[in-house]
Amino acid sequence: MKDIILRKAQKEDVIEILNFVKKLALFEKAPHAVSATVEDYFENGFNENPLFFCNLIYYQKHLAGFSLWYYRFSTWKGKRLYLEDLYVNEEFRGLGLGKILLDECKEEAKRSKCTGMMWQVLDWNKPAIEFYKKYGASFDSEWINVNLQLK
């Protein structure tokens, strides 16, 4: 495992993070949905009271993937870690990097006194669903996401 390094992202990493986000959006068939800018990431993630957190993972010194999360309050379940994004570049898949990123989020959720974790998966993304099942996650497809754009 000495070839694998996991570290917290810094302000200097925002361009790389946004590159990952765009690759993931392309995989999720929504390449044009990304309107957030480098400034949005700077302002919201890298101040005294950050709205989100991000880990980067390296394999043999190559940047290979990332996870991005924040905290939510479920009126049903209390404090939850929400995994907004998890992505590993295609050429680094099958090496267990996704598992390392997800496991680290799970530990982070425990350290920050969350009662659990949440995330979303696309209904057609069967490999991801199978991966999450191994963690004992539960799935609920009854809810529709609603979005209201304000600017």
Residues near a second copy, by CB under 8 A: 21, 24-25, 30, 33-37, 40, 43-45, 49, 51-52, 68, 70-79, 82, 84-85, 106, 109-110, 114-124, 129, 132, 135-151
Cβ–Cβ under 8 Å, residues 53 and 6? no
58 labelled catalytic: no
**How near is the Cβ of 139 to a second copy at its closest, in Å?**
5
Whole-number Å distance between alpha carbons of 120 and 123? 9
Give the three-state DSSP class for 128. Answer: helix
**How near is the Cβ of 2 to a second copy at its closest, in Å?**
29
By C-beta, is 53 or 92 nearer to a second copy?
53
Whole-number Å distance between alpha carbons of 97 and 63? 11
Question: Which residue bears the tokens 């870690």?
Answer: 81
Cβ–Cβ under 8 Å, residues 68 and 44? no
Q: Which of 59, 82, 132, 135 is catalytic?
A: 132
By C-beta, is 11 or 51 nearer to a second copy?
51
Catalogue the active-site residues.
132
